[in-house]
Amino acid sequence: MMQFENSAGALIYKMENNTIKMLFLIRFNDKLDIAKGHIEQGENSVIAAKREIKEETNLDVEFVPSFSASTRYRFIERYDGPSKKVSKQVNIYLAKTDGKDVKASEEHKGFCWLNEKDALARIKYRELSSILKRAFAYIPRYEAMLALNKEYAELPSKNAQWQLSSRLVPGAGALDAKVMLIGQAPGRNEDKLLAPFVGRSGVILNKMLAAAHLDRRNTYITSVVQFFPPENRLPTDEEQALCLPLLERQIALVKPKYIILLGKFATESLFGKGSDTTPGRMIEKNGIRYYVAVHPARALRLKAAYNGMMSQFKRFGKEVSTRAKSQGANSQRQNFSPRHRPLSSAYQRQEKQVHSAQP
C-alpha cells in the first residue's frame, strides 16, 4: 500500500561580492541537501517550509515572490519493521538572507555556500539541478527588478510637476513568465493595496486567465504607468513618456514570449498613437507576440465587450497551448508552472538515507 507524504523547503541564497551563493547542508555521509522536511498536520506548505528552515539552519526567512517548484517521486522506506512504499511531493521556494546566523541542525555535520558552477558540479541529481539552474537564472532578474522598482518609486520626488499618486504600484508575478499582461495605470484599489488588478477589473481578468487555462501566479502583470492618476483620469503624454522606458526595461527583464495589451492606451503606448487597436489583433516584434485585448474595465461596463474579451482569451490560450506542444515545451512547464519529473533513483536513495542518518 502506498503512503503519501508532503514536504516543503527552500533554496536559500546570499549575495557576496555580486556573486550568488546558495546554502547547502552537509549530511554525515558528506552529501549535500537543502533545508526541507515534512508538512505537519495543520500546516500549509509555506508555514512548513519556514519552520523546517528555522529548525535546520536557524534562519528566519521570507520567500522571493512568485518562485516555486514542485516534484513528486517514489521510494521504498526501510526501518526496523516492514518496508513501505512512499510517494512524496516536495514544494521548493526561494529565500534570500544576509548569510549571518546560519547554524546547521544536529542532523547535519555543517553547511557550505556554493556559487552556481560549484553547486551544479556537486549536485548530481537532475531534478534538483534543474531547479537550481532555474533559481540561479531567476535571482538576477529578481535583484534587477528590485533595483528598477526603487528607481521607479523615486520618480515623484524628481519631478516638480508630478500630479500622479506618489505610491508606486509594482508589477506582480513570475519574473520568468511566458505571458505578460500590460494595463493602463493602477486604479484606486490598486493604489491602496499596491498590487495590479486587485479591484473589480482584477476579478474580470482572473476569469479571462482561467478561460485561457493560465494561472495568474505564473504570469507577470504590470501597467504602462504604475502610479494612480487622480480621479482615474488618463495619464498625460508627459507622464506616459516618463514611465514608458521603465516598462520597456521590465519587458527586457522578464523576457516573455507573449504580451497581452489590455486596452487602447497600452497598445498605443508601445506601438504609437494611431496604431490599430482592434481587439484580437496580433503583432510580432523582436521575438515577442503581442495580443491586443479589451481592457477589463470596459468588460465590466458592457456585456458585448465582456463576451468579446472572453472569446479573445480562449483563442489566445488555445494558440499558446498549440505552440507549446509543437515546440515540446509542455513536457516540463505545462501551463507555465514549474513541474519536474520523478526524481532519479540516486536521489531516492539519498532521501532514504536522510531518514536514518544520525549524528
What pLDDT band is residue 343 in, cutting at 50, 70 and 90?
very low
| 320 to 177, 220, 224, 329, 341: CA distances (angstroms) | 13, 16, 24, 11, 22
Q: Are residues 245 and 293 located together in one domain of the fold?
A: yes
Residues 34 and 72 in one domain: yes
Q: What is the pLDDT of residue 83?
A: 81
- The pLDDT of residue 334 is above 80: no
d(CA 109, CA 2): 32
Residues 10 and 124 in one domain: yes
Q: Which amino acid is at 67?
A: F
φ, ψ for residue 91, nearest 5 deg: -100, 130
Count of CB atoms within 10 A of residue 180's CB?
24
Q: Is the pLDDT of residue 138 over 60?
A: yes
Residue 332 has pLDDT above 80, yes or no: no
200: domain CATH number is 3.40.470.10
Tell me if 10 sits within 8 A of 49, measured CB to CB. Answer: yes
Phi, psi of 64 (to 5 degrees): -65, 130
Residues 20, 89, single domain; the answer is yes
Cα–Cα distance for residue pair 48/338, rounded to 1 Å? 20
Domain presence at residue 148: no
**Model confidence at 254: pLDDT above 90:** yes
48/193 same-domain check: no
Mean pLDDT of the chain: 88
Alpha-carbon distance 70 to 326, whole Å? 24
Residues 221 and 114 in one domain: no
Whether 155 maps to a domain, the answer reads no
Residues 188 and 105 in one domain: no
What residues contact residue 306 under an 8 Å CB cut-off, 6+ apart? 204, 299, 300
Q: How many domains does the chain have?
A: 2
Query: Beta-carbon neighbour count of residue 304 at 10 Å?
Result: 10
pLDDT one-digit tens code per residue, 52-100: 999 999 999 999 999 999 887 777 877 667 788 888 889 999 999 998 9
Helix 264-271 and helix 237-254, axial crossing angle in degrees, nearest 10: 80
What separation, in Å, do the N-terminal and C-terminal C-alpha atoms of the chain show? 31
- Report the sign of the C-alpha dihedral through residues 232, 233, 234, 240, in that order: negative
Do residues 126 and 204 both lie within one domain? no
Which domain covers residue 235, as residue numbers? Answer: 163-336
In a domain, 323, yes or no: yes
233 by Cβ neighbours in 10 Å (0-12 / 13-18 / 19+) ranks as exposed
Domain contains 147: no
Task: Write the CATH number for 64.
Answer: 3.90.79.10
Clarify whether residues 178 and 315 are in a common domain. yes
